[in-house]
Amino acid sequence: MRKIVYYVHQSVDGYIHGPNGEFDWPHMGPELSAYSLGLTERAGAFLYGRKVWELMSFYWPRVESMSGDPHDLAFAPVWRKMPKVVVSRTLTRAAEGARVIGGGDLGAEITALKAEPGKDLLLTGGSKLASALDRLGLIEEYVLVVHPVVLGGGQPVFLDAERFGLRLAESRTFDARSVLLRYQRAE
């Protein structure tokens, strides 16, 4: 069965974006960029909640006209080729060939998705879908990149989380700046 890997950038104080939705603080240096691109090689699909999907589907199809960042330019073709699954109770279809699920029993739909053949599912970005999947025990791996910034508020990585154990699988620094904490869910 495929795993769900939750990959998220967070501040030192545990937020994924600032009080006003700011996400201008993660720095994708060469080492972190290489790690991020390598992580996508494990994935058979990207998994998004609706809000993150709206940001991704706006940015990545036109990134070349919006950014000269080397990481963005390297990731754009990966994003375009990768199958995408959007979990939403309000969307019925999505652009960029994305598949939409979430109109029924979330646990059953995600379990069926995980049972499909292929590589792992890479859940990136937001914490609402991750929190819903946490409560159902459906995320097996957490890849947290901690950036050297204190946001003082915003959206926390874990929303309404109930206590669960994790086992540290890997830690390292990138670009003498950010810290990777990769955990597996403890059984």
Instruction: Tell me: pLDDT of 92 over 80.
Output: yes
Single out the residue of 55, 67, 61 nearest to residue 22, CA to CA: 55
Supply the pLDDT for residue 77.
Answer: 96
Q: What distance in Å separates the CA atoms of residue 179 and residue 161, rounded to the nearest whole number?
A: 23
| Residue 54 CB coordination number (10 Å) | 16
Domain boundary assignment for the chain = 24-155+169-177
Supply the pLDDT for residue 126.
Answer: 83
Supply the pLDDT for residue 125.
Answer: 81
- pTM greater than 0.75 (yes/no): yes
Q: What distance in Å separates the CA atoms of residue 38 and residue 90, rounded to the nearest whole number?
A: 32
Which pLDDT band, with edges at 50, 70 and 90, does 65 fall under? very high
Query: Phi, psi (5° rounding) for residue 71?
Result: -65, -45
| Overall average pLDDT of the 70-75 stretch | 94
pLDDT tens, residue by residue, 98-156: 999 988 899 999 999 999 999 999 999 889 999 999 999 999 999 999 999 999 999 99
pLDDT tens, residue by residue, 26-53: 999 999 999 999 999 999 999 999 999 9
Domain 24-155+169-177 has CATH 3.30.2320.80: no
Supply the pLDDT for residue 20.
Answer: 94
Q: What are the angstrom distances between the C-alpha of 89 and each of 103, 104, 108, 124?
A: 5, 8, 14, 18
Which pLDDT band, with edges at 50, 70 and 90, does 94 fall under? very high
Instruction: Tell me: pLDDT of 161 over 90.
Output: no
**SS3 (DSSP) at 61:** helix
**Chain mean pLDDT for the chain:** 94
Supply the pLDDT for residue 185.
Answer: 92
Supply the pLDDT for residue 162.
Answer: 81
